[in-house]
């Protein structure tokens, strides 16, 4: 999951409808929250990659595989995420927030486009990213 840190904290839990939405779709923007989520189907180590412009983070992505850049496929728009707080979160929404499952970092405040990378061969969702509009 990627989004505005104010939209997800240790005290905020997903309701049943939100959990079902994430489970049903490969990826989505959570209605009413500044969060984009992806169904990975498991627990795995996923690095957070960022893009900086003039020292500020303007994009971040989570890749479930190591070869997204070489894999044929397309980035599909999911919607927009308002990053008003200037703090982003990369987290597993189904695990207790901890250093391992919950990373916050500073981004340039603004509206970010949330996208999922879908492989051409089998329509698998392989990565999730947000980028400044």
* Residue 41, CA distances (Å) to 7, 38, 49, 80 in order: 23, 9, 21, 24
Can you read off the two tokens belonging to residue 36?
């984009």
Task: Tell me the residue range of the domain where 110 lies.
Answer: 2-132
Edge-to-edge strand ranges of the sheet holding 125-132: 48-53, 56-63, 125-132, 110-119, 73-83
What is the number of other CB atoms lying within 10 angstroms of the CB of residue 120? 10
What pTM value is reported for the model? Answer: 0.85
| pLDDT, tens only, 120-133 | 998 888 999 999 99
| pLDDT, tens only, 18-42 | 666 666 667 888 877 888 888 776 6
- How many domains, in total, are found in the chain? 1
Q: Which of 18-22, 39-43, 44-48, 82-86 has the lowest mean pLDDT?
A: 18-22
Of the candidates 117, 124, 52, the one whose C-alpha atom is nearest the C-alpha of residue 88 is: 52
């Amino acid at each position: 999951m990627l989004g505005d840190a104010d939209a997800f904290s240790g005290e905020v839990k997903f309701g049943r409808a939100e959990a079902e939405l994430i489970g049903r779709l490969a990826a989505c923007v959570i209605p009413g929250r500044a969060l984009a989520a992806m169904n990975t189907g498991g627990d795995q180590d996923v690095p957070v990659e960022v893009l900086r412009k003039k020292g500020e983070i303007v994009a971040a992505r989570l890749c479930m595989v190591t070869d997204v850049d070489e894999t044929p496929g397309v980035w599909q728009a999911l919607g927009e995420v308002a990053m008003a707080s200037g703090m982003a979160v990369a987290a597993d929404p189904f695990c207790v927030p901890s250093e391992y499952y919950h990373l916050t970092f500073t981004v340039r405040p603004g509206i970010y486009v949330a996208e999922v990378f879908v492989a051409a061969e089998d329509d698998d969702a392989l990565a999730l990213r947000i980028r400044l509009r």
